Structure 1
Amino acid sequence: MPSPSKRPRSDQFDDHFTIDPETTPRRPQWSVTRAHTPDDVFQSPTPSFPAPSHSSSSTIHSMAPTSVFTDALASRPHFPPLGIDQQAPSVARQPRSISPSKQYRKRGDLLRLDRPVKFKKEMDMRAALPADAQGLYDALVMAEHCEGILPAALKDVPGVNLKDVRPYMWQPVAKAANANDAGIIIQSSDRSVVEKHSRLLEIIRRSNKSSDRHRSEAAWNSHVHCQILHELAESSSVIVEDITSARIVPAFRPSISDELPNDFSSQTSFSTTGTASSYNSNTSPSRTNSRSVHKMVDFALVLEPDEDLEAVIEPFTKSSPTATVNQTAYLPLKSCPAPVFIETKTSAGNIETANVQLGVWIAAWHESIRSLMKRGGSVERIITVPLIQVVDGAWTLMFAIDAGNEIHILDRDFRIGNSSTIQGMYQLQAALSAITNWIEGKFKAWITQVLCKALA
């Protein structure tokens, strides 16, 4: 059988536009010139498509599907050339404003607060600290140097293997009134010490696993940091609160000055020994045309009030517009003074952001304490408080000082322990124990006095 004759070629189509009805319809390929580049797509006219030939019925039948496709392309909407008037709105559009909380992410940004927060490196931190913090500092230095951090009961406990231990790391043996009492006390102490040692080893295992698995900040908090704080920092009157949900009361949010002061050093003349020259205690920064900043931190060490302190706090919170003794209305902190704040990060996190979070939070705490003092008739220097920063398993400490019109945060890479080694855990135990004792003693006496004056 002879092969079917080929369809005659239509002379109406040039070589650039040959339609094969057996193939999938596609956009015609035009030769690319400088006038037909991707940048000129909006300037190009709508492409025209040749009409199909109607010379014969066979041709019409074969071209029907393609004709529908080309007609649809030819009649589709197209963008007209953009003129100056059409481009103007996009050029004139103003960018969306950035919230202060997102805008202030560096320590230098805290200098724009109405009461600036300055981070200062100190080689001799003890000399720079006020007298009210030097006792706590001395206890923390002992923990930093691992002096007396290991319980004496661990020396002779079978199965306890402590490496690289120096004699100065052991605590002195406790003395009892008589031999019988001594035996009972030692046996009980041995059991509790060994049980605690086992719990610390479990935390170390979790810490190292969290590091190996690159866990998130929230996972570190739940698996490691929260366990450490509950184990080492809590007492009968000091508890740990997770405050990641706490918000700063609007009245206490630090305000941002519209302009950066020219000379911060001239704003205050404050002696860190506890006295202040030209310290205007009753002056509050103006909040006219200013914006507030809000940041959050992870944990707080909180003082559980006893009956006497509770009798002072309750009437104060009932009469206060903010109904809280802290800078937040978060319920667990409304009636429990919280002087120590902890911010955690992973090694992949931004340490600068952590500093800003602590800086904003302590600035808000200062605002709340000043509001207490104003109710008492005068604003005095606020007690120096420790701030804790945790990166993975490493714990460091800073001090926040009331410097009159500024807040100074003193830093010297003060390492108080880590959760990756057993010695680091006992360092942490000694450091957190010193902070707990400070909260129960010096801070409790100070905040009680402030609240009593506010109610007078």
Structure 2
Amino acid sequence: MDTERAELQHWVRISDWVIANASYQHDDLDLCQHQDASQLHLFPTPPASSYVMQRDSSPSKKRKTTAPGTKDGDVFMSPVRQGPGLAEDHDRTPTSHASFNLSTLNYQLPPHPAVSRSTSSRQSQSSASSGRRSTSPAKRTQNLRYLEKPVLYMALEDDANQQLPMDVTSLYDRIYDITVDHYCFLPHQVRSQLNSLTGRKLRDTWFTNDSSQDASPDQTELDALREIERDARECMRRGSCEGAWNVDVHAPLLKLAMAPYTEIRREVVTSARIASPFLPQTDVGVDVESKMIDFALILESLTDSVRAAVSSQPKDRQFINQTPYVSIQHSPIAVSIETKTAGTAEEGRVQLGVWTAAWNKRIRALLQQQADPIVSLPLVLVVEHEWKLFFACDRGDRLEIIGDMSIGDTKSIIGLYTILAVLRELADWIRATFEPWFRQTLASVTRTE
């Protein structure tokens, strides 16, 4: 009996120590920077036993689910995990994998300290207290349905052509041909090399019908893709951070894909913050915390028309996108791309949702009283090797983000060619659909001013 009691005391002390350090943030350690070990904020040593366990003399009360320091009913705060069967809370404090649950023991533990928010949330609170509007952090895609213009993530239906707007149905069909039917996406000039690399005799229908006799461009492209494949495998092996994947894998692949398109550029937008007028708001008028993404495919052929359209706008709105970031001030964003490492796909979907809602709000402000739907936008979410495609569709009173489609991977040469082919289909769509829509929109804005 004494042994059992001693073991319980031991687990309670550990539980108390974990709870007391619940505010520890793994993202406080930038794994991409070399730091002296003395500068790292590590867990303190577990404290010695200082609490005396007491048996309850009355039935336990249901614990309040709102974390201290948060507002009751705030849909943009993470729900507290209360038991099996509920959605996983990725921000909760890790729990012991012991064979029994401490919460089932009939003992009183010390009160839980308030769990601190992330660094960005603390900064938002500080800004609000100094006169800025308060912001609310969106942590899950379900939270986005509570925006003033709701953002809803929807699964792609079997008959996607009935679900998607007309401006992206042909794009969807071609991407389906590439990713599902593997039709006509590999260069014919390097067929023998690909058969050798994969150890297979690849099907005729996988290859293009290019009759060119010059194989050098295709060979150069194959060499570049093989280097990206090696770098991607090395990033995975090393457990590299998001920044390393972006530099070594994603940026080179995007640049290679856009090489044939002089009017479309891959832009790094990791520093492009959403402008205050275009921050999405909740349905009770609170600004959502700003989210940034990693890359964008931007259109550069409309610079003069864009400059003319935004020149008469207020000073804080003289840019075409939802961000004043100078590099893309007069270049419309056509495709938004967010990259993540393992286990953070949900965060990436939230970032894309907030970012796209802000873009939609900016374009709607530009259109003023015009009620026509805004052009659909392709969105790409990358998690390590895997690339996924979504379609952001304006339904007037809401935004639907429909997907996802798997569009290749960076762990195989065939997967890389699949991504390359899909990215070039996106570029063709920018030329054929996005640019004409934007040109017409700019003309209508100029006429009404």
TM-score where L is the length of structure 1: 0.66
Name which of 191, 197, 221 aligns with 1:155: 191
Q: Where does residue 117 of structure 1 map in the other structure? A: 151
Give, in angstroms, the shift of residue 290 of structure 1: 2.7
Contact 2:228–2:249, Cα closer than 8 Å, also in 1: yes
Name which of 320, 337, 345 aligns with 2:340: 345
Name which of 382, 385, 389 aligns with 1:390: 382
CA RMSD of aligned residues (A): 2.5
Q: Where does residue 203 of structure 2 map in the other structure? A: 166
Change (3 A) 1:157 1:395: closer
Contact 2:144–2:152, Cα closer than 8 Å, also in 1: yes
What's the CA shift string for 1:217-249, capped at 9, x where partnerless?
111001100011001134211100110000001
Letter aligned with residue 318 of structure 2: A
Give, in angstroms, the shift of residue 364 of structure 1: 0.4
Q: Where does residue 127 of structure 1 map in the other structure? A: 162
1:414 aligns with 2:416: no
Percent identity of paired positions between Structure 1 and Structure 2:
31
Name which of 299, 306, 324 aligns with 1:303: 299
Structure-2 separation of matches of 1:382 and 1:354: 23
Structure-2 separation of matches of 1:241 and 1:334: 12
Change (3 A) 1:206 1:39: closer
Structure 2 residue matching 1:341: 3-state secondary structure: strand
**Comparing both chains, which one has the higher relative contact order based on Cα–Cα distances under 8 Å and sequence gaps of 6 or more?**
1
Letter aligned with residue 154 of structure 2: K
Structure-2 separation of matches of 1:328 and 1:346: 25
Q: Where does residue 326 of structure 1 map in the other structure? A: 321
Letter aligned with residue 213 of structure 2: I
Q: Where does residue 223 of structure 1 map in the other structure? A: 248
Letter aligned with residue 337 of structure 1: P
Structure 1 residue matching 2:145: 3-state secondary structure: helix
Q: Map of 1:242-281 to 2, 5 A cutoff?
A: 242-258=268-284
Change (3 A) 1:238 1:160: farther
Structure-2 separation of matches of 1:153 and 1:319: 52
Letter aligned with residue 440 of structure 1: R
Q: Where does residue 27 of structure 2 map in the other structure? A: none
Letter aligned with residue 169 of structure 2: Q
Structure-1 separation of matches of 2:173 and 2:327: 31
What's the CA shift string for 1:296-330, capped at 9, x where partnerless?
1110000112xxx3331121232122111111100
Name which of 86, 107, 122 aligns with 2:141: 107
Contact 2:381–2:389, Cα closer than 8 Å, also in 1: yes
Contact 1:257–1:291, Cα closer than 8 Å, also in 2: no
Q: Where does residue 360 of structure 1 map in the other structure? A: 354
Structure-2 separation of matches of 1:365 and 1:340: 11
Letter aligned with residue 172 of structure 2: Y
Name which of 443, 451, 454 aligns with 2:434: 443
TM-score where L is the length of structure 2: 0.67
1:186 aligns with 2:213: yes
Change (3 A) 1:158 1:434: closer
1:203 aligns with 2:246: no
Change (3 A) 1:143 1:159: closer
| Equivalent residues, number | 321
Give, in angstroms, the shift of residue 153 of structure 1: 0.8
Structure 2 residue matching 1:142: 3-state secondary structure: helix
Contact 2:236–2:384, Cα closer than 8 Å, also in 1: yes
Structure-2 separation of matches of 1:373 and 1:163: 54
Structure 1 residue matching 2:339: 3-state secondary structure: strand
Q: Where does residue 312 of structure 1 map in the other structure? A: 305
Contact 2:135–2:286, Cα closer than 8 Å, also in 1: no
Structure-2 separation of matches of 1:245 and 1:423: 33
Give, in angstroms, the shift of residue 444 of structure 1: 0.3
Q: Where does residue 142 of structure 1 map in the other structure? A: 177
Structure-2 separation of matches of 1:302 and 1:226: 14
Structure 1 residue matching 2:381: 3-state secondary structure: strand
Letter aligned with residue 363 of structure 1: A
Structure 2 residue matching 1:123: 3-state secondary structure: coil
Name which of 370, 389, 392 aligns with 2:364: 370
Structure 2 residue matching 1:425: 3-state secondary structure: helix
* Unmatched runs of 5 consecutive residues or more in structure 1: 1-36, 41-89, 175-184, 259-288
